[in-house]
């Protein structure tokens, strides 16, 4: 359902305002924490009181060395974002972070202050993800992706990043909702997320940082927040407890593609949707201003028998509320996936099979 009471915005890498989350410690429920962060051997700084790995503080201490701040290396660069190290010293972040900084050169900063130049290996604007390669990496444990499909409302999560450039900020909360359709970005360049929603405080600058579970596994990439509008000077307001992360399942698939090929095309159905449609479901456009080609010839929708005026009611068993949600569900899948579509035509319900297409076709 659209967030009508709040403004959803990417956590842009520019000079944006927002509050600062604090470090939270405490015991995680024993049945969830057994083996927490057991795959991480990052050293706790000698001047920091060490905490057991089965506490939130212990997970944060062992994950934080693998989280980096991302900034421009040019003297006039003022923006920042976050990222995290994965296997082979690649760094995952948001596309809107790397795109904003790439022109000035990109530099990453580790938690101990070590810096390294970085270059973009590949970027996926449609998924708001990018992968950086480091010129002078540190030897830190790579973070692992967890199973975001296993996340459920109420699970403990920890967000780590650099809001407003404040490196190493740790906040905690719970998963507030799963499969939350969120649309962010400017018109014509939107990103559609089937997101994990969290009340962990994330703010501008947290973009690209990890949302980890009680075992220190990345279950989401922090990407957007909802705000109540802008301040007196037009600046974006900070966290109101509505943050959104790209689920790890989608992020890992896209990241793997970016590392292999430098690009990650997203799934499409080959049809223009009417984003103004107010009833339940997603209407395939009937607007003839575009030459009546709302359904691409020989595209996925055309081959599945769909046509202009059809209303898609279910996508692979998930009820479709509106066009934004449908696009989010499609982006959560891979080109070539087989899905079942339920649609209405002239008041009658039909079901068909569809093979999803690719955005680069």
Q: Looking at the annotation, which residues are catalytic?
A: 96, 128, 207
Of 188, 212, 334, give the one whose Cα is nearest residue 196.
Answer: 212
84 and 68 Cβ atoms separated by less than 8 Å: yes
Residue 10 β-bridge partners = 224
CA atoms within 13 A on the CB side of 255: 26
255 and 129 Cβ atoms separated by less than 8 Å: yes
How far does the chain reach from its first CA to its final CA, in angstroms? 30
Of 286, 260, 252, 254, give the one whose Cα is nearest residue 272.
Answer: 286
What is the torsional sign of CA 67, 71, 73, 75?
A: negative
269 and 354 Cβ atoms separated by less than 8 Å: yes
Size of the chain, expressed as the number of residues it contains: 361
240 and 199 Cβ atoms separated by less than 8 Å: no
Residue 177 β-bridge partners = 197
Of 82, 81, 88, give the one whose Cα is nearest residue 14.
Answer: 81
Query: Of all helices (H) and strands (E), which one includes residue 181?
Result: strand 169-184
What distance in Å separates the CA atoms of residue 119 and residue 104, rounded to the nearest whole number? 11
Three-class SS state of 351? strand
| DSSP alpha helix (H) spans, 290-336 | 300-303, 323-331
What's the token pair of residue 131?
Answer: 């992968």
């Amino acid at each position: 359902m659209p967030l009508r009471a709040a403004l959803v915005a990417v956590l842009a890498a520019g000079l944006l305002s927002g509050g600062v989350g604090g470090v939270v410690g405490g015991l995680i429920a024993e049945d969830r924490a057994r083996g927490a962060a057991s795959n991480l051997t990052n050293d706790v700084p000698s001047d920091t009181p060490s905490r057991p790995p089965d506490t939130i503080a212990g997970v944060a201490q062992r994950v934080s060395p693998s989280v980096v701040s991302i900034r421009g290396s040019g003297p006039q660069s003022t923006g920042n974002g976050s990222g995290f190290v994965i296997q082979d010293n690649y760094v995952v972040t948001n596309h809107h972070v790397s795109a904003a900084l790439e022109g000035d050169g990109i530099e990453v900063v580790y938690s101990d202050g070590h810096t390294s130049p970085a270059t973009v290996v590949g970027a996926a604007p449609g998924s708001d993800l990018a992968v950086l390669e480091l010129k002078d990496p540190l030897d830190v444990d790579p973070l692992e992706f967890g199973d975001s499909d296993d996340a459920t409302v109420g699970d403990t999560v920890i967000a780590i990043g650099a809001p407003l450039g404040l490196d190493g900020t740790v906040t905690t909360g719970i998963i507030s909702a799963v499969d939350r359709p969120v649309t962010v970005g400017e018109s014509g360049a939107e990103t559609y997320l089937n997101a994990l929603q969290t009340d962990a405080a994330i703010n501008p600058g947290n973009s690209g940082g990890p949302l980890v579970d009680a075992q220190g596994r990345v279950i989401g990439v922090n990407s957007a927040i909802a705000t109540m509008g802008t301040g007196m000077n037009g600046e974006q307001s900070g966290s109101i407890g509505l943050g959104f992360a790209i689920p790890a399942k989608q992020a890992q698939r896209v990241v793997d593609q970016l590392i292999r090929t430098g690009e990650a095309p997203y799934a499409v159905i080959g049809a223009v949707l009417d984003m103004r449609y107010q009833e339940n479901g997603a209407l395939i456009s009937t607007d003839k201003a575009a030459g009546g080609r709302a359904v691409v010839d020989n595209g996925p929708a055309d081959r599945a028998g769909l046509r202009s005026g059809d209303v898609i009611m279910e996508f692979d068993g998930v009820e479709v509320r509106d066009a934004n949600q449908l696009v989010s569900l499609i982006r959560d899948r891979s080109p070539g996936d087989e899905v079942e579509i339920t649609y209405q035509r002239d008041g009658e319900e039909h079901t068909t099979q569809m093979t999803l297409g690719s955005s680069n076709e």
